[in-house]
Amino acid sequence: MKTEFAKDQLVFGKGDLANRFYLIQIGHVVLESPRSGGKWLTVQIVGPGDVLGWSWLFDPYRSHFQARSLEQASAIFFYGTRLRMQCEENTALGYELVKRMAQVAIKRLESTQRQLIEHAST
C-alpha cells in the first residue's frame, strides 16, 4: 500500500512492534539510535529505492532503530506479518526474503559501526 510521511514524522520508534516494511519512493528517512543525554546518533539515511525496516522478519519483531522522515516522503509499505505467513507456506519465497533482508540488516550494521567509530573519534 502507498503511504506518505510529513517532514519530521516518526515512522517507527526504537522498540516498536515491527509488522511492516517500506520501499522508499520519494524523500529521505533517517535511522537513529539513542545516545546519552536524550540525543540521537544518525545510523543511516535511506532514500528512493531503499528498503526501510527488516525487523518484521526476525523474532522478537521489534524495531532496533528509530526512523524519522527528513522531508515530505512517500513509500510503499508491505505487511510483514502477512509476508511471514506466506514465507512459512512458500519456503522458496521465505528463503529469498531472508537473504534480501539479511543484506539490509548487514548494511545497517556496517553503517552503525562506521557512525560509532566516527562518533568515538570526535
State the DSSP string of 48-88: TT-EE--GGGSTT-B-SSEEEESSSEEEEEEEHHHHHHHHH
Residue 26, pLDDT above cutoff 90: yes
Give how many domains the chain has, as a whole number.
Answer: 1
Query: 116: pLDDT confidence band, cut at 50, 70 and 90?
Result: confident
Judge whether 80 and 34 are in contact, CB under 8 Å. no
Over 70: is that where the pLDDT of 122 sits?
A: no
CATH classification of the domain holding 48: 2.60.120.10
What nine digits make up the cell of 61?
519483531
Structure pTM? 0.85
pLDDT above 80 for 47: yes
Nearest CA to 50 out of 70, 19, 83, 75 is that of 75
Mean pLDDT of 30-43: 88
What's the whole-number mean pLDDT along residues 37-41?
A: 87
Domain enclosing residue 42, as ranges: 2-120
Q: What is the mean pLDDT of residues 71-78?
A: 97
Strand, coil or helix: what is 36? Answer: helix
